[in-house]
Amino acid sequence: MSRPRLGFFTRLLDDAPADARYRLAAEQIRHAEAYGFDSAWVAQHHFDEAEGGLPAPLVFLSHIAAQTHRIRLGTGIITLPLENPIRVAEDAAVLDLLSGGRLEVGVGNGGTPSSFSAFGQDSANRSAVYAEHLGVLVDAWSGHPLSDGANHLYPAAPRLLGAIWEATFSVSGGARAGKAGNGLMLSRTQPRTEDAPHATLAEIQRPIVDAYHENLPPGVPPRIMASRTAFVADSRAEALRLAEAGLGRAARQFKAKGHPVPDGGVEQLIAAFDVHVGTPDDVLASLQADPTLQRATDLVFQVHSVDPPHPFVLRSIELLATEVAPALGWAPSIPDPSTELSRT
C-alpha cells in the first residue's frame, strides 16, 4: 500500500451546548491540520443531540474552510434521502470553490429511521430514494441538463465527481460504490449477525472491500476509507478511566434503545464497540492487528464512543500524528508541525 492519508472525524459530541460544540470541533480540526492531518470529516445527524451534534455539515464546513488552509474537508455522511439533491449539488459546488477545491462528499442512505418522517420520507424506501438522489447529484456535477432541460448547475462542479464517497454496511453497497468509481467508506463498527456474533470487524468488512475492488472500473484508483475509533492518552490508566466513562454512557444509550450490550467491565465494552484505546504503543498494536487497514487508502480516526473531554481529544490528535500514524506508514505533508501551530 502507498502512503495512506490520515483523517480526523468528529460527530460533534462534546459535553456542551451546540455553540460550544461547534467551537470545540473547529479547534480540534485546526489542531489536526497543524499536526499534518490530510482530512477532517464531520457527521450529519438530525434531532438527537446524543447521537450527533450537527444537522448542517456543509454550513459548518464553510465556517471551517475560512479557518484552515490545507486540510481537506469531508462529510461523513450527508443523509442523501433526506436532502434535495440539487440543493446539495449547489451548496457543495459553492463550498468547494470557497475552500480552494478541498471538499470531499461522503453520502449514505442514513441510519436513524425516526428522522425520516419529519422530512416526509418513509425509512423503508430510503435505499431507492438514495439511488435516485445520488443519480441527480451526479447528473448535476456532470453538467447534464436538469429537469426540463433548460437548467444546468451553476457554478459548475465537475471536480466533485471524483470526490464522492459512499458509506455502506453491505457487500452490495461495496459493489455499487466500486462500479461507480466512488470512494468506499467503512464504518468504525458494525452490528454482528446472529449466525456470526463473534466475528471481528475485519471479517465483516473484508467481503465489502473485495466486492468494491471486483467492481472498480479498470484504471480507476481505489479510494477506501477505514474509519476507526482510536483514543490515545499518555498513560493506559488515564485512557481506560476515560474509556470506562464514555463507553459506559454509550452502553446505557444502546440498552435504552433495546440493543444488546455485553455485561462486564471496560475491556468487554472496548471489544464490543471495536475501540482502539490506550498509550501510543497500545493503540498501534491494536490497529496493526486489523488487516483492513492494510487495504485502506485513508485512515480516519474518531474518539466516539469514548468521547473524552476536549483537552484529551487534542492530545489524542497529537499522539496519533506523532507516534501512531507514522508507524502505520503515514507521513505528514508538512515538514514541521510547529510551523502550522504558529499560524493557528
pLDDT for 259: 75
- Residue 229, C-beta contacts closer than 8 angstroms, at least 6 positions apart: 188, 189, 273, 274, 275, 276, 277, 301, 302, 303, 304, 305, 306
Say what the alpha-carbon torsion angle 157, 161, 165, 171 is, to the nearest 10 degrees: 150
Which candidate, 199, 212, 137, places its Cα nearest to that of 173? 212
CA 274, 248, 45 angle in degrees (round to 5)? 70
Q: Containing H/E element for 61?
A: helix 57-65
pLDDT for 340: 57
Distance of CA 63 to the CA centre of its chain: 18
The DSSP output letter for 327 is G
pLDDT for 339: 55
Inter-residue contact 323 to 6 (CB < 8 Å): no
Inter-residue contact 251 to 268 (CB < 8 Å): no
Around Cβ 219, how many Cβ atoms within 10 Å? 6
pLDDT for 274: 96
* Distance of alpha carbon 7 from alpha carbon 51, whole angstroms: 21
CA 301, 158, 45 angle in degrees (round to 5)? 40
Task: Give the pLDDT means over successive 10-residue stretches in the chain (344 positions).
Answer: 89 97 98 98 94 96 98 98 98 98 96 88 95 97 90 97 97 98 97 86 97 98 98 98 94 79 86 96 98 97 97 98 97 66 55
* Distance of alpha carbon 26 from alpha carbon 330, whole angstroms: 23
pLDDT for 251: 86
Reported residue count of the chain is 344
* Distance of alpha carbon 196 from alpha carbon 263, whole angstroms: 19
* Distance of alpha carbon 214 from alpha carbon 242, whole angstroms: 41
pLDDT for 257: 76
- Please report the sign of the dihedral spanned by the C-alpha atoms of residue 27, residue 272, residue 209, residue 141: negative
* Distance of alpha carbon 328 from alpha carbon 334, whole angstroms: 17
pLDDT for 228: 98
Question: Residue 78 half-sphere exposure, CB side, CA atoms within 13 Å?
Answer: 31
Q: Containing H/E element for 232?
A: strand 224-232
* Distance of alpha carbon 328 from alpha carbon 217, whole angstroms: 28
Say what the alpha-carbon torsion angle 160, 163, 165, 171 is, to the nearest 10 degrees: 100
Helical pair 85-98 and 57-65, crossing angle rounded to 10 deg: 10
pLDDT for 336: 57
